[in-house]
């Protein structure tokens, strides 16, 4: 423990921070948890965790000193409440300027004045002054590298807040109107950025057999297209856990966004007969005269231990939907999940397979790559297993035999004319 503590403290002292354990981190030091709480607290503190204080006064003073130092550098004693300056810009994308909130006790732009003078607090706080100077030097470095373009001073914040209040009180000034319009435009730009992230993260795992022509890109104009699966029209499933509430929710009342079904509907030609049936049987599929089908299945929302399962299977009726639809018509299967799932038993009947992960609110990004408006460029960030018996499996294992290796992903170009 002492060696680990000193290594942690060396890193902490370098970046002016402190160490906090995760939820129940102290409790789980022993097995079973809570078996010896006194020991757990002592072991955790000696290992470098700062937010528990059942320990010697020397260690407590060390902990408190660094916590107060970080709070002081952040300006929390001068401004103890959250800064809501940019609250009305939530969901916005700033492409050309990136902002940071500069504490009120450092009002000036450090690029334009003596850094040392801004950090002269009190002769009894030499370490605190040194830390302030170091922090400002680091931020100046970020500015020079182009990562931060300007500072937001207290005066900037107050002006923006006044303008925002005028908007909601009805007495809009010219600058307030402009700020409001910028907020609307930036919200749209934020969703554009989210769609770009969705497009770039999709991984095309299969696109037809060797002897068959590839299914992707899907034609927008066809006699009929079948969309099936529990996840095709469910914004909550697209978002997963940690969305609005801890474990996430099912349905389309969770937040604003575009479901994959809605995105498909917007993408296809108006003359195309688009049919959605969540879990069709084989007879329905064969009798529908469909040109192809899109099956969207996957996991239900979860967070942390609520997602712990041993078989990593797609929940029913997902497998049945894949079997019925892909057994009756050419199909592309889109898997919505936060991790690789068992897909090998169905792979032979699947014509094209996409790992869509959790696309969140922007289902349009999924449709963009399915129909070839954009090409597939995503690669697997981890190995996709064949069976759970192989787990754990790493790429440097002697008998590495995955379904799809880490880094795999078929690359396609946008369809002609896109």
Residues acting as catalytic residues: 22, 304
Token pair for 238: 């697209």
Interatomic CA distance for residues 308 and 288, integer angstroms: 39
Exposure of 203 in the CB half-sphere (CA atoms within 13 A): 22
| Residue 176 DSSP SS3 | helix
For residue 296, how far is the Cα from the chain centroid? 20
Measure the CA–CA gap between 222 and 283, rounded to whole angstroms: 21
Radius of gyration of the chain (CA): 27
Distance CA 127, CA 119 (A): 11
> Distance between CA atoms of 370 and 20, rounded to whole angstroms?
43
Block residue for tokens 């899109």: 294
Cβ contact 217:292 at 8 Å: no
b or e along 305-322 (b: 16 or more beta carbons within 10 Å of the residue's beta carbon)?
Answer: eebeeeebebeebbbebb
Pairing type for strands 99-101 and 150-152 reads: parallel
Q: 208: which residues sit within 8 A by CB, 6+ positions away?
A: 214, 215, 351, 352
- Of 345, 307, 92, 355, the closest CA to residue 198 belongs to 355
Tell me how long the chain is.
418
Peptide bond into 32 cis (omega under 30): yes
The DSSP call for residue 307 is G
Smallest Cα–Cα separation from 312: which of 278, 285, 283, 343? 343
Tell me how far apart the terminal alpha carbons of the chain are, to the nearest angstrom: 59
Q: Which helix (H) or strand (E) holds 88?
A: none
Which residue's entry shows tokens 């002016």?
Answer: 16
């Amino acid at each position: 423990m002492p060696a680990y503590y000193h290594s942690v403290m060396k890193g902490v002292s370098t970046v002016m921070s402190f160490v906090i354990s995760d939820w129940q981190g102290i409790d789980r030091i022993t097995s079973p948890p809570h078996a010896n709480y006194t020991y757990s607290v002592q072991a955790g503190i000696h290992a470098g965790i700062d937010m528990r204080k059942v320990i010697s006064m020397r260690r407590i003073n060390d902990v408190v000193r660094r916590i107060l130092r970080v709070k002081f550098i952040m300006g929390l004693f001068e401004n103890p409440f959250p800064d809501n300056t940019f609250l009305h810009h939530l969901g916005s994308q700033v492409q050309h300027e990136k902002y940071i909130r500069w504490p009120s006790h450092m009002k000036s732009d450090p690029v334009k004045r003596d850094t040392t003078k801004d950090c002269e607090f009190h002769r009894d706080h030499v370490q605190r002054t040194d830390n302030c100077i170091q922090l400002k030097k680091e931020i100046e470095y970020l500015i020079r590298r182009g990562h931060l373009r300007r500072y937001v001073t207290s005066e900037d914040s107050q002006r923006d807040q006044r303008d925002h209040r005028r908007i909601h009180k009805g007495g809009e000034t010219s600058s307030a109107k402009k700020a409001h319009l910028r907020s609307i435009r930036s919200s749209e730009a934020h969703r554009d950025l989210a769609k770009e992230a969705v497009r770039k993260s999709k991984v095309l795992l299969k696109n037809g057999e060797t002897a068959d022509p590839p299914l992707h890109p899907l034609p927008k104009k066809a006699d009929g297209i079948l969309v099936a699966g529990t996840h095709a029209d469910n914004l909550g499933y697209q978002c997963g856990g940690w969305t609005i509430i801890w474990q996430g929710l099912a349905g389309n009342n969770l937040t604003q966004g575009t479901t994959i079904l809605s995105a498909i509907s917007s993408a296809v030609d108006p003359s195309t007969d688009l049919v959605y049936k969540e879990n069709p049987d084989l007879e329905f599929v064969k009798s529908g005269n469909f040109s192809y089908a899109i099956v969207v299945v996957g996991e239900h929302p979860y967070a942390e231990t609520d997602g712990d399962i041993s078989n990593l299977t797609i929940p029913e009726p997902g497998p049945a939907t894949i079997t019925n639809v892909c057994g009756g018509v050419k199909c592309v299967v889109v898997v919505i999940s936060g991790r690789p799932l068992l897909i090998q038993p169905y792979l032979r009947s699947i014509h094209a397979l996409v790992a869509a992960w959790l696309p969140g609110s922007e289902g349009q990004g999924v449709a963009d790559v399915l129909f070839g408006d954009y090409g597939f460029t995503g690669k697997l960030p981890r190995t996709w297993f064949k069976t759970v018996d192989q787990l754990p499996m790493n790429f440097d294992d002697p008998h590495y035999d995955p379904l799809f290796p880490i880094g795999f992903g078929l690359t396609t170009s946008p369809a002609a004319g896109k």
